[in-house]
Amino acid sequence: NAGVMQNPRHLVRRRGQEARLRCSPMKGHSHVYWYRQLPEEGLKFMVYLQKENIIDESGMPKERFSAEFPKEGPSILRIQQVVRGDSAAYFCASSPSTGWTNEQFFGPGTRLTVL
């Protein structure tokens, strides 16, 4: 059973370009969380999705950022018109259900560098 997969692992973009980050949850998991980690800081929650639904996007910047988790395929975090401040590591995690789940299974992260 493969773990959470994220690709690409490293992504370089120039200011103004778009960044698309993909997350494939573990098999059987229908919940996905996205987090952003700035250098030397902790993870900050961005968005929580179930299949075809955004449950909580309270941590998502209002502009340029969007996320989806379609019925088929990976979850996508999309950043339009990237700026240098978007440079960070972006982690996704999946879990099988809500309620008292002690574990979110994390992917290896995508490190975005904006030149």
Partner 1 sequence: SQQGEEDPQALSIQEGENATMNCSYKTSINNLQWYRQNSGRGLVHLILIRSNEREKHSGRLRVTLDTSKKSSSLLITASRAADTASYFCATDVSNDMRFGAGTRLTVKP
Of 17 and 104, the one with the shorter C-beta distance to partner 1 is: 104
Amino acid at site 85: G
**Interface mask toward partner 1 for 37-66; x: CB under 8 A:** x--xxxxxxx-x-------x--x-------
Of 12 and 81, the one with the shorter C-beta distance to partner 1 is: 12
Instruction: State the Cα torsion 11-88-9-4 to the nearest 10°.
Output: -140
Q: Are 88 and 109 in contact (CB under 8 A)?
A: no
Q: Which of residues 79-98 bind partner 1 (CB under 8 A)?
A: 89, 91, 93, 98
Of 41 and 52, the one with the shorter C-beta distance to partner 1 is: 41
Work out whether 108 is an interface residue with partner 1 (CB under 8 A): yes
DSSP string, 30-95: -EEEEEEE-TTS-EEEEEEEETTEEEE-TTS-SSSEEEE--SSS-EEEEE-S--GGG-EEEEEEEE
> Footprint of partner 1 on this chain (CB under 8 A)?
3, 33, 35, 37, 40-46, 48, 56, 59, 89, 91, 93, 98-100, 102-106, 108-109, 111
